[in-house]
Structures are given as structure tokens and as C-alpha cells.
Amino acid sequence: MRNVYIIGAGIHPFGRTEGRSGRDQGVFAVRQAMTDSGLEWSDIECAYGGSAAAGNADIMVNELGLTGLPFINVSNGCATGGSALASARNAIAAGEFDVALAVGFDKHPRGAFNSKPAEYGLPEWYGETGMMLTTQFFALKIQRYMQLHGISRTTLGRVAEKAFRNGEKADHAWRRSQVDLDTILNSPMVNDPLTKYMFCSPAEGAVALILASEKKVKEFGSDAVKIASVAVRTRPAGSFEVFAPAIDIDNGGKPTVLASNAAFEAAGIGPEDIDVAQLQDTESGAEIMHMAENGFCKDGDQEQWLAEGRTEINGKLPVNTDGGCLACGEPIGASGLRQVYENTIQLRGRGGTRQVPGSPKTAYSHVYGAPGLSGVAILER
Amino acid sequence: MNQTLQPIAEDLWTNETEPRLIGARLPSGKVVFPMPTGDAARDVESYPLSRKGTLWSWTRQDFKPKEPYDGPEAFTPFLLGYVELPGELIVETRIVDAKLEDLKLGMPMEFIVAPFDERRATYAFRPEKQS
């Protein structure tokens, strides 16, 4: 397998952009990534991309140029962006192509996501009785976790407080003003113990990454970041996931643990070697649990980590340096690639006021979504 | 239980004095809920689930869900959670006859058929009544 690098990164600001379709936001991100890499559209040899709710990606060639390149539409729920990245990286690693595009974009209606039971192989009564909500799953998972591992509501609040503090410093973030801890803790309850400010919202946005082989990096003289590993995994037996009328009594593994272990093994490093991390923070509790599921701390240690500020930008392990999903919102098809975009920015030292100090050398990203899948990417400078 | 209410779905719980949720036992012996359908239902036998278990997790639904939710027009927040049925599985359920602050990890729970709206009933668990 050949080494693969990110040589260009582009983003359309997340949030709400009236009058611009999700796909047009994708085109915006691709053009920015091309400018960043110094390449022309005709230099791109293959492309992978998609959205969950804003249409097929391959139509973008109408705007970008009819060069005849193979353009694969990716439709993999919350892992759409991560799967596009994995596919583009594999195409280059295999030696089939030297320059590839991974793009993800989306545009969702306001309010919580709603899902059709039949699409998930579930009976209609499950939706009718009001149990098929993603927000409930996250509340139920963190509620139990808090009881078992001594995590306080204050710690949930601290995660959100950090997200908005970091989001204020990120040009592409949606929520760009700080919110104090009391306001977060006392905002309207969505699903106990999670309040309104502890949840991300469905949003809009797009991210594009241009990948290249080592040969092309040298040829172009790119400001490149190496993709050390990418792993996407689905749920193992006995895991507790979104939309589960029942859970196996033998509590089993987790897709995040599988993806994390695979990515670390392929990169040949461990959690202690990571300098900056972007972890799926659909809500505050998710970031806390994902810190442990990805191997960065033990269950329960998060209480102390948050109190001591260890996940702040200047902490031991900065987490969600652009404010994560909480500050950026969640356009499903773009969300996983935003994490990789932010890591690329950090490793190139272009983070401005949110730059992690000390020239970080390794960066970790983790996306999680329904119906139980995780994607991890590890970058190295 | 109000006998005039229709079950929200057929064959979701047994028709007996003390009704039980209808799960299924796979050839491997593993118990699942709900009953599989289509090809997945082959070689699967009906398995009424235990009426008693312990509280595994819980939350309260504080906003009115979008479709496919089909509850009463006037929304009232409701409790829901997971109840562990020993040796069987951990089932997601509405929780009735309790307040949020009453709920504790591991507390004994029992099955009940509860009103869903003016014409339909659904299944739920409630804190077990101490006799």
C-alpha cells in the first residue's frame, strides 16, 4: 500500500445559508480545496462524495467541469464523509489513481432528525409511540454512564461551554459566541439529563479534501499531511445503538472501539501519541463517552479531565478545537470530513487563535452515527 | 387496564389476564424483541417476555416528536427507558406511574398495558408496587 496525503482542504461555512443548495455548498468547498492545493479540476483523477439529504454528489461535475472522471456517490449515513475519505484514500493507496477528491455536504430542515421505521427495519409502532428519536438514545446512553461512572451534570455543561468557546475562534463554525455554564445547565431540557445547549442541531455545510500520492506531493511541492490510517466499522453483537427496541443482555463491543483499535493498529501508534482529537459530540455526553471509547482515558476519568481543562486547546489533549458538532451543527454528509479538515488545519499550523500550541504532529478524528457505525482517521505531519 | 382501548399493534403483547410482551427465541437460544418478520422469522419461536425486571436507563421526552410519532395532539412529556429482563434481554419501554426524580438505576419494574391516546393502548413498565 502506498502512502496517501491530504494536499488541499476546503470548507463551506456550517450553519444556515439561505438560497444556496447543499450541493452548491459542496462545489464551493471543492473550489476552495483546489485553490488551497494549487490544482485545477482537470488534475483530479477520481472523486467520492455524498450527502444524506441534499442529493447526489456526482452532479457537481456540471459546475466543476465535464472531465470524464469517475465520480462515485457515497451514501452511508453519518459515515458518508468518512466513507468517501476511506474510498479516496484506498484508490490512491492501491495505485489506481494519484489524485482523488473526497467531498461531503448537506442541508437539513430545522429541528431534530425524524426517521422512518421501515427504513431501519423496525415496526411502525416503534415510531408512533415516540421511541424512535436519536436524542433519546444519547440521553439514555449518558444517563446510565453517569450513574455507573460518576459523571456529573456540571461536566456535561463544561463540554458545551468549551465547544462554544472554541467555536467563537473558528471561521467555519455556526455558533460563534460563548455561552456560560449556568445558561447551559439551566436551558430547556430536551431529554434528561441533556439540555438544549448540550445538543448539536441539524445544519448545512460542506467539506472537500484533495488527496494525493507521495509522487504527486513531491511533484506539486504540496503543504501535505499524511493519512496514517482510516477505519470504518459497523456495530458488533451486543452493542447499544440508536433505534434499538431491545438490547442484547450480554453487553458487547462498540463500533467506536473496533474502529479506534483498527486505526491505531494500522498507524502503529496509540492514544498516548495523539496531540489533538476531534471526537463525535452529537451532544455533550457523546464527547465524554467517546473519550473513553477511543482509548484516551478510563471510564469516569472525564470528570477530572474536564474540571482540569485537559481537553482545552492548551490542554494535554485538545478535543474538538473548532467547537465540534455542538458549535458547527451537523450536516450529516459533511460532519466527519469537517473533523479531518480541522485536523489538517491544526497539523499545518494554520489554526490562528484556535491553533493548538507546540506544533502538533498527530491528529485523530472520530465520527459516529446511526444505526451504529464509526469512522476514525489518524493524520500525521 | 382500560379494556376499551385497542392495542397500538397486533401481537405486541399476549392476550391474558397478566399480559406479557411477545418476543422471540432464535434457534441459538437467544431472545429478541420485537418478533422478527419476513425471512428473519423462519425457525423462530414466539417467546413471551418476563413481566418483571430492573431499570437499566431512563429519560424524559420533553418535546413533541415529529412524525412518525402519532400521540395525542396536546403533548405531555413522557418517561421512557430500558428495563433489563433477567436472562432475556433489555427492552425499551415507556415508563408510567412515576416521576423523573423517582427513577433509580436497578430499581424493580413491572409490565403494564397503559393508555396511549383516547383509543389506543401501548406497553409500559412502572416501578414495582411493594406489597
What is the CA angle A44-A48-A49, rounded to 5? 120
What is the CB neighbour count within 10 angstroms for residue A180? 11
In a domain, B19, yes or no: yes
pLDDT attached to residue B3: 58
Cβ-Cβ pairs closer than 8 A, A with B, add up to 110
- Residue-wise pLDDT for B20-39, tens only, equals 999 999 999 999 999 998 88
Residue percentage of chain A with pLDDT more than 90: 90
Residue percentage of chain A with pLDDT more than 70: 100
pLDDT of residue B2 exceeding 60, the answer is no
Q: Name the least confident of A22-26, A115-119, A348-352, B103-107.
A: A115-119
Give the position of cell 451532544: A283
The amino acid at residue A184 is I
pLDDT of residue B1 exceeding 80, the answer is no
Alpha helices in A300-363 (DSSP H): 302-307, 324-328, 332-347
Q: Average of pLDDT values for A182-197?
A: 97
Helices (H) and strands (E) in chain B, counts: 0, 9
Q: Which residues of B touch A192 (CB under 8 A)?
A: 59-60, 62, 100
Q: Name the least confident of A116-120, A130-134, A139-143.
A: A116-120
In a domain, B14, yes or no: yes
Among A114, A119, A129, most B C-beta atoms within 10 A, so best to mutate, is A129
pTM of the model: 0.94
Query: Hey, are the CB atoms on A191 and B23 less than 8 Å from each other?
Result: no
What was the ipTM of the complex prediction? 0.95
User: If you measure CA to CA, which chain B residue comes closest to A192?
Assistant: B59
pLDDT of residue A61 exceeding 90, the answer is yes
Query: Hey, are the CB atoms on B71 and A129 less than 8 Å from each other?
Result: yes
pLDDT attached to residue B129: 83
Expressed as residue numbers, the domain containing B88 is 6-127
- Residue-wise pLDDT for A75-125, tens only, equals 888 889 999 999 999 999 999 999 999 999 999 987 767 788 998 889 999
Helix or strand run (H / E) with residue A364: strand A362-369
In a domain, B64, yes or no: yes
User: Which of A229, A171, A200, A204 lies closest to A333, judged by CA?
Assistant: A204
CA torsion sign, A331 to A336 to A342 to A344?
negative
pLDDT attached to residue A114: 76
User: Which of A338, A296, A341 lies closest to A315, judged by CA?
Assistant: A296
Which residues are bridge partners to A191 per DSSP? A194, B61
**Identity of the residue in A111, A124, A245 whose CB atom sits nearest the CB atom of B68:** A124
- Is residue B127 reached through a cis peptide bond, with omega within 30 degrees of 0 on the bond before it? no
User: If you measure CA to CA, which chain A residue comes closest to B33?
Assistant: A246
Query: Hey, are the CB atoms on A143 and B65 less than 8 Å from each other?
Result: no
Do residues B94 and B124 touch, judged by C-beta distance below 8 A? yes
Domain count, chain B: 1
User: If you measure CA to CA, which chain A residue comes closest to B32?
Assistant: A246
In a domain, B102, yes or no: yes
DSSP letters of A58-100? GGGHHHH------EEE---GGGHHHHHHHHHHHHHHTTS-SEE
How many angstroms separate the CA atoms of A259 and A294, rounded?
9
Mean pLDDT of chain A: 96
Query: Hey, are the CB atoms on A246 and B33 less than 8 Å from each other?
Result: yes
Q: Average of pLDDT values for A317-325?
A: 98
CATH ID of A4-110+200-380, from 3.90.78.10, 3.40.47.10, 3.90.700.10, 1.10.760.10: 3.40.47.10
In a domain, B113, yes or no: yes
- Residue-wise pLDDT for A190-219, tens only, equals 999 999 999 999 999 999 999 999 999 999
A249 touches chain B (CB under 8 A): yes
Among A125, A144, A147, A239, most B C-beta atoms within 10 A, so best to mutate, is A125
In a domain, B40, yes or no: yes
Query: Hey, are the CB atoms on B105 and A144 less than 8 Å from each other?
Result: yes
- Chain B residues whose C-beta is within 8 A of a chain A C-beta are 8-9, 12, 23, 30-34, 37, 56-63, 65-71, 78, 80-82, 84-85, 87-92, 94, 100, 105, 116, 122
pLDDT of residue B131 exceeding 70, the answer is no
pLDDT of residue A188 exceeding 60, the answer is yes
In a domain, B104, yes or no: yes
More confident residue, A114 or A256: A256
- Residue-wise pLDDT for B68-120, tens only, equals 999 999 999 999 999 999 999 999 999 999 999 999 999 999 999 999 999 99
Among B6, B54, B62, most A C-beta atoms within 10 A, so best to mutate, is B62
pLDDT of residue A51 exceeding 70, the answer is yes
CA distances (Å), A39 to each of A17, A45, B59, in order? Answer: 27, 11, 51
**Identity of the residue in B34, B78, B82 whose CB atom sits nearest the CB atom of A123:** B34
Query: Hey, are the CB atoms on A111 and B70 less than 8 Å from each other?
Result: no
Query: Hey, are the CB atoms on B68 and A111 less than 8 Å from each other?
Result: no
Do residues A288 and A159 touch, judged by C-beta distance below 8 A? yes
Residue A133 distance to chain B (closest CA, Å): 8
In a domain, B1, yes or no: no
